[in-house]
Each structure stands twice: as structure tokens, then as C-alpha cells.
């Protein structure tokens, strides 16, 4: 009989190994799924993981890695703070949309004026928009004890409707011949989040993501607040006795994750996406949840996990066009990864033992 035995302390080795094992397991099972869909599994896995990095057109795909990875890392860093403390913000997608909307609105309000101050104002607006959207579940939780999971998620649907309304109404391009969508910010130099070094995919969002990783690392390992976050997650009662004020911690974690998601939205709308449109959001806010867990809620881990997840996005697109793999296959692949990760996590905290059944 197989029995789980709790380890006296979580295993460090397994804690580091589970993400790797989970990725390998997902490759195997994902390959089986791709095979069932009539695609050569080895070719599909190779296309997803090898082609973007070392293939013939890698010079085009490598910059995309940063472009797609930056919003994922930025959002996941914010989410990981809350997840560590047991505060579940799963509405990052909504905060991402609202951040993009408020930032873009500031930029569009200045059009066609030029000035160095416009882009920084947009950045501030984006962060503020995301923060404010996350404050709704935060304040409701602190004041009324409302479940933040449900409220933040409901607000995603509200934000999506808001996005539709804005791109068809208030923010619509007056010179757009009636097509939905705002002016293209890429053609407005003061508001354009251009590449810092041409051809590398390195834009302000990537830089901000790097800074966020470093700051999160310092916060969690060297700062009292980070200690309180970890303590609250691992022993909520002890945290109360140690003087942690849960309300303030909830507002801090939700606020930071909202602001970072808002920033990610702003950098996306003013850079790679270029305009506010109905289909602006592509699910980064939800994929970032997987990134946060894959990175073991650790800033450095999240950085690596974000890049890996960006790779599956890019590789998935290549596989779509060259192998005819459906777009949703990649979504299944990403979901599967989270399953394996959660399932294998048991090995970190428990030991599997074979026990002889006692004779009665």
C-alpha cells in the first residue's frame, strides 16, 4: 500500500525539481495529445520549443520572447506576492485592460501635442488604473469580507465590456473611417513605447519587468513587509499575534498586483499592440497565474517561467501556421502544465512510502 508521509521540512531538492519534471511530463503528455490530433508529436514539440530559439527564423522570434514574456513576468510578480499571503487576485486580466485603457486615454488626450512628459504620464495613468481596479475587490474584502476571488474575476468581464464600449465610443479614432479601435499610438512618437534598442524586442515594459523582479526579490528576502507576507501565507494565526494587520496586507498585495498588471497593459497598448481595440486582451492575466506557480512564487523562478511560457506562445503560433496545430492546443498544453505542477508538488511536502498492510 502506498502511503504519504509528511516530511518534517519541505524538500529543497524536490521544490526545485518539480517545475522541471512538470515541464517534461507536459511535453510527453502534450505530445500524446498532439499525436491524437494527427500531428507528429516530436515535430510539434520541436517546433514549439526549438524553432523560436534556434530555428531558421530565430532572429525574428527571439525578440518576440521578450515582448511576450514581459507582460507575463510583470503580472505574475504582482500575483505571486498575494498568492504567498493567501490573497487570490485572479482578475489580473481586468486590471491589465483598465490599465491599458486609462494609460492610452491620457496619451490620446494629448494628441497631437509632442512632449517628453506624455509617456511618463501615461505610465503613471496605467499603473493607477490597474491599481484602482484591484482596489475594488481589496476594499470590499477589507470592509465587507467579500471573497476577492469572485469579485476580481467578475470585474474581468466588466472590464471586457468597458473595453468594447471604449473602442467603439469614447476612444475611437475620429479619423478611422468608422472602424472600431483607437488611434494607433505607434504613429504618435510621444506616446509610443518604442524599442529601446532596435531589433531586440527590448522596450520599457521589459525594463520594468526586470526592475520588478529585483524589487520583489529584495522585498521578500530583505524587507519586513516581505517577511509579513510570507508569514501570513504560512501561518495566518501566528501572523496576527506578530502584529501583522491583515487589512493593510490585503490592500498592499492587491494594489501592487493591480498596478503591475495595469503597467503591463499600458506597455502593451502603447507598444506591440499599438491601439485600443475590442480584442486587445489575449489572456496574459490568466496565463500569468500559471507563470506564478511554475516559478514557485519566487521572483527569479517567475522570470524563467515567464520566458518559458512566452516560448510556448510563440512556438504555438509557429506550429499553428506550419503544422496546422489548432490554437487551443497550446491552451490545453499550458493548462496541463499547471496540473502536473500542482500534482507533483506533493513530493515537496510529503514522502511516498510503501507500507505492508497490517494483518488484522
Partner 1 sequence: MDLTAINPVLLVASLMVAATPLLLAAIGELVVEKSGVLNLGVEGMMIVGAICGFAMAVESGSPMLGFAAAAAGGALLSLLFALLTQVALANQVASGLALTLFGLGLSALLGQGYVGVKPPPSPRLDLPGLSDLPVVGPILFGHDPILYLGVVLTACVWVMLKFTRAGLILRAVGESHDAAHALGYPVVRIRILAIMFGGACAGLGGAYISLIRVPQWTEGMTAGIGWIALALVVFASWKPWRALLGAYLFGGVTVMQLNLQAAGVAIPVEYLAMSPYLVTILVLVILSADRSGAPAALGRIFHASN
What is the binding site for partner 1 (CB under 8 A)? 4-6, 37, 88, 90, 136, 140, 144-147, 149-151, 153-158, 161-162, 164-165, 168-169, 286, 289-290, 293, 326-336, 338-339, 342-346, 349-350
Q: At what angle do helices 299-323 and 41-49 cross, to 10 degrees?
A: 130
Nearer to partner 1, 318 or 336 (CB): 336
Q: How far is the CB of 326 from partner 1 (least distance, A)?
A: 6
Find out whether 198 and 276 touch, Cβ atoms under 8 Å.
Answer: no
Q: How far is the CB of 161 from partner 1 (least distance, A)?
A: 4
| CA-CA-CA-CA torsion sign (22, 27, 32, 33) | positive
Nearer to partner 1, 168 or 307 (CB): 168
| CA-CA-CA-CA torsion sign (163, 164, 167, 171) | negative
Nearer to partner 1, 103 or 233 (CB): 233
Q: How far is the CB of 335 from partner 1 (least distance, A)?
A: 3
Q: How far is the CB of 250 from partner 1 (least distance, A)?
A: 14
Burial 154-165, CB ≥16 within 10 A → b, else e: ebbeebbebbee
Nearer to partner 1, 132 or 158 (CB): 158
Nearer to partner 1, 317 or 345 (CB): 345
Q: How far is the CB of 15 from partner 1 (least distance, A)?
A: 14
Q: How far is the CB of 141 from partner 1 (least distance, A)?
A: 9
Q: Which residues have CB under 8 Å from 67's CB, separation 6+?
A: 201, 203, 206, 271, 272, 310
Q: Which residues have CB under 8 Å from 275's CB, separation 6+?
A: 104, 173, 181, 182, 183, 184, 185, 186, 269
Nearer to partner 1, 4 or 214 (CB): 4
Burial 328-342, CB ≥16 within 10 A → b, else e: ebbeebbebbbebbe
Amino acid at each position: 500500500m502506498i502511503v504519504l508521509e509528511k516530511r518534517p521540512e519541505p524538500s529543497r531538492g524536490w521544490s526545485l525539481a518539480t517545475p522541471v519534471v512538470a515541464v517534461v511530463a507536459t511535453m510527453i503528455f502534450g505530445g500524446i495529445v498532439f499525436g491524437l490530433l494527427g500531428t507528429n508529436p516530436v515535430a510539434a514539440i520541436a517546433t514549439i520549443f526549438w524553432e523560436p530559439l534556434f530555428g531558421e527564423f530565430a532572429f525574428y522570434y527571439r525578440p518576440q520572447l521578450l515582448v511576450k514574456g514581459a507582460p507575463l513576468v510583470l503580472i505574475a510578480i504582482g500575483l505571486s506576492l498575494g498568492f504567498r499571503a493567501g490573497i487570490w487576485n485572479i482578475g489580473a486580466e481586468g486590471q491589465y485592460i483598465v490599465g491599458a485603457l486609462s494609460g492610452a486615454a491620457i496619451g490620446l488626450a494629448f494628441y497631437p501635442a509632442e512632449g517628453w512628459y506624455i509617456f511618463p504620464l501615461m505610465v503613471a495613468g496605467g499603473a493607477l488604473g490597474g491599481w484602482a481596479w484591484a482596489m475594488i475587490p481589496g476594499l470590499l474584502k477589507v470592509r465587507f469580507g467579500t471573497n476577492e476571488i469572485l469579485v476580481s474575476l467578475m470585474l474581468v468581464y466588466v472590464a471586457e465590456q468597458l473595453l468594447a464600449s471604449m473602442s467603439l465610443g469614447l476612444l475611437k479614432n475620429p479619423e478611422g473611417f468608422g472602424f472600431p479601435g483607437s488611434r494607433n499610438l505607434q504613429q504618435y512618437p510621444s506616446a509610443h513605447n518604442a524599442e529601446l534598442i532596435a531589433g531586440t524586442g527590448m522596450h520599457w515594459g521589459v525594463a520594468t519587468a526586470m526592475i520588478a523582479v529585483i524589487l520583489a526579490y529584495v522585498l521578500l528576502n530583505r524587507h519586513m513587509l516581505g517577511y509579513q507576507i510570507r508569514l501570513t501565507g504560512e501561518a495566518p494565526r501566528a501572523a496576527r499575534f506578530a502584529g501583522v494587520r491583515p487589512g493593510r496586507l490585503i490592500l498592499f498585495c492587491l494594489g501592487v498586483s493591480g498596478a503591475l498588471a495595469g503597467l503591463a497593459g499600458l506597455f502593451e497598448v502603447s507598444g506591440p499592440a499599438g491601439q485600443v481595440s475590442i480584442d486587445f486582451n489575449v489572456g496574459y492575466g490568466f496565463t500569468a497565474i500559471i507563470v506564478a506557480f511554475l516559478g514557485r512564487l519566487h521572483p527569479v523562478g517567475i522570470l524563467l517561467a515567464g520566458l518559458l511560457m512566452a516560448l510556448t506562445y510563440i512556438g504555438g503560433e509557429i506550429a499553428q501556421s506550419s503544422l496546422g496545430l489548432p490554437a487551443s492546443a497550446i491552451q490545453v498544453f499550458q493548462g496541463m502544465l499547471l496540473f502536473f505542477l500542482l500534482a507533483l508538488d506533493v513530493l515537496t511536502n510529503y514522502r511516498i512510502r510503501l507500507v505492508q498492510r497490517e494483518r488484522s
